[in-house]
Structure 1
Amino acid sequence: MTTVAEVSPAKDTRARLPIAEVRWSTVLAPLLLGVLALVAWEWLVEGLEVEPYVLPAPSAIWEQMTLNTGNIVDGATVTGRNALIGTVAGAVVGVAGAMLAGTFRFLDQMAAPVVAALAVIPIVALAPVLYSMYGAAADTGRIIVAGLSVTIPVYLNTLRGLRQVRAVHRDLMTAYAAGPVQVIRSVTLPTATPYVFTGLRVASSLAVIAALIAEYFGGPIGGLGKSITSSAASSNYPLAWAYVTGAIVLGLLFYVVTLLVELWFSRHHRSGG
């Protein structure tokens, strides 16, 4: 009598991106907390008669947002465009640099002090210098500042991911006479991808912050940073806070879009597409 061995389905052993399943509780809880915080904020400002220059009421901020929606959107478009270009350019440079450093050890050692120096460059000092170099009428300085803020976290996270590749996997690909491109596509990138997206999620919000801060120190007219300083200088504090709210929404938009791209890539990666 012949027995037939049961064959269990193959398990997917590829690396998976660390994205938790979205539940209603994870969405409703922050929304409820936000509503309660706004109610308490309004009550404290009205009850204690806090002056607008100290802290405007949410109702006053909302009024300015509804009256100046077009200006807020225009400013967010300028800041968002600079942040987006900086994010893409910084991500490309960060990933490419990490790939080179992960492949050649001497480059990794040479780049370490340079990366450490770039990580501590203050935006308040860099932005005016770039405006002097590229001209105050161009957005080049703002884009470079945003790009630098993205390059460092993407580089460090990507390099960390590359170092997670086990030597036995590389040896196995070598035994099968795989070429460098095939090794990168089959082993290196799948392992490092979750770390790349971790760096991008952090860097996407940093790009908005960097582009916003760079606008405080000159450059073309336009952008949320310029609008905030102009409103505060004219003592229109609720309007300044309205522009700050626009900046917060812009930063959240960058983060959410990056997270959605990560989620799409995770599902595409699991399906083997």
Structure 2
Amino acid sequence: MTTVRHAPRARWSPAAERRLRVIAPLVVGLLGLALWQFLVTVVGVSDYLLPSPAAILQQLVEFWPAILQATIITGTNALLGLVVGTLLAILLAALAARWRAVDGMSAPIVASLAVVPIVALAPVLNSMFGADSQFGRQAIAALAAFVPVFVNTLRGLRQTRPVHRDLMHVYAASGPQTFRLVTLPTAAPYLMTGIRIASSLAVISALVAEYFGGPRGGLGTFIATSAATSAYARAWAYVAAAIALGLIFYLATALLEWLVLRRIPTGGAR
């Protein structure tokens, strides 16, 4: 019987894989923009359906100061919401992991927050805190960030194996020492994953909240205003700024995750 031997598959070097991860998205993005421009200029798609990338770029350049100012406002609201929501989620998750009664009380609250419709809550908060306050938008961003951070942190805090706790008890380690050396390294990957997910949700929630009243300013407000006045290319320019803002938040939290996890001792997350 003849044995057929397959040639070994060619493997990319680590350097080539890193270059491919950077180059591949850029190539796909450029091809997408080329197809977009082709649909508008050759196929003849109407501007109100899909403005051309060239028109959007022209609006970005022309209205750059206003776009930058709106991006700063939305970014500030999203950042404050992300920080406050994360801190509250970590605190409640630590209490829920420590005391079963807190866990039982927090479960229905978190489940309710997870399904709160932003489109219904935003007008209410904007009316409560006034037309000149950004607090309603920041509160909505905080609520959106709270849920994924809480769920992931609580799960991470429960991943510590009993044998590890028993070992620390044998070594006469104190509660804070056990938390710092065992519980925290185990929970850190889950916490950072929750923050990375929450960063995008905070930006999206802040944008959506800006559609429903509150002070003038922010990307969501100008997207709605531009679309209502038939300035479609300008509206897409604000959308492009919103996409860039979301990417900045995501990359910043991904970098933070990498910096935190590389400091965890080997096997700390096991």
Give the structure-1-normalised TM-score: 0.89
Counterpart residue number, 2:253 = 258
Task: Spell out, residue by residue over 1:243-262, the C-alpha distance to the aligned partner (whole angstroms, 9 max, x if none).
Answer: 00000000000000111111
Counterpart residue number, 1:41 = 36
CA distance in 2, matches of 1:236, 1:193: 46
Which residue of 190, 197, 206 maps to 1:202? Answer: 197
Counterpart residue number, 1:84 = 79
Q: Percent identity?
A: 53
CA distance in 2, matches of 1:221, 1:181: 47
Which residue of 92, 98, 101 maps to 2:96? Answer: 101
Deviation at 1:175, TM superposition (A): 2.4
Counterpart residue number, 2:159 = 164
Counterpart residue number, 1:268 = 263
Deviation at 1:70, TM superposition (A): 1.1
Deviation at 1:162, TM superposition (A): 1.1
Matches within 5 A, 1:51-90: 51-90=46-85
Task: Spell out, residue by residue over 1:164-203, the C-alpha distance to the aligned partner (whole angstroms, 9 max, x if none).
Answer: 1101111222222322211211111100000001011111
Matches within 5 A, 1:185-224: 185-224=180-219
Counterpart residue number, 1:112 = 107
Counterpart residue number, 1:25 = 20
**What is the number of equivalent residue pairs in this alignment?**
252
Counterpart residue number, 1:173 = 168
Decide whether the 8 Å contact of 2:219 with 2:238 is kept in 1.
yes
Deviation at 1:270, TM superposition (A): 4.8
Residue identity in the other structure for 1:180 = G
RMSD, aligned CA: 1.5
The farther-off stretch of 142-151 and 261-270 is 261-270
CA distance in 1, matches of 2:19, 2:94: 39
Deviation at 1:266, TM superposition (A): 2.4
Give the structure-2-normalised TM-score: 0.90
CA distance in 2, matches of 1:36, 1:270: 42
Deviation at 1:46, TM superposition (A): 1.3
Deviation at 1:269, TM superposition (A): 3.1
CA distance in 2, matches of 1:36, 1:48: 16
CA distance in 2, matches of 1:140, 1:179: 41
Residue identity in the other structure for 1:149 = A
1:128 aligns with 2:123: yes
Counterpart residue number, 1:14 = none
Deviation at 1:267, TM superposition (A): 2.6
Deviation at 1:268, TM superposition (A): 3.0
Which residue of 139, 148, 167 maps to 1:144? Answer: 139
Decide whether the 8 Å contact of 2:188 with 2:261 is kept in 1.
no
Counterpart residue number, 2:8 = none
Q: Secondary structure at the match of 1:216?
A: coil
CA distance in 1, matches of 2:133, 2:251: 29
